[in-house]
Amino acid sequence: MAAEVEEEGLRIKLVSNRGREVLFQVQPTTKLGVIMKAYCARLRLNNNSVRFLFDGNRLNEGLLVSQSGLEQDDIIDVQESVEGGGLQHLS
């Protein structure tokens, strides 16, 4: 199985709190930062406005996929910041 993952890569899904889903096929030697930047570029998001979580823990963009504990078909949660929504008081 490990050789199969090495050849084909690892499928991971990034799912945001806004319901957006992006599927990636990555190699174990890919840095998580590359995936994070690709996600933001694809959805036209500012890199600083999102957080990436796996099993409730924030992911470090310097880690390799193989170091992160990700396995085939795992899901990374993406928390997109919500701006606005403040209540204006009218007198």
- The secondary structure element, H or E, covering residue 78 is strand 74-80
Residue 85, pLDDT score: 57
Could you read off the pLDDT of 48-79 as tens digits, one per residue?
999 999 999 999 999 999 999 999 999 999 99
Percentage, residues of the chain above pLDDT 90: 79
CA atoms of 8 and 27, how far apart (whole Å):
8
Per-residue b/e over 54-88, b at no fewer than 16 CB within 10 Å? Answer: beeeebeeeeebeebebeeeeebbbebeeeeeeee
pTM assigned to the model: 0.80
Q: Contact 73/13 with Cβ under 8 angstroms?
A: yes
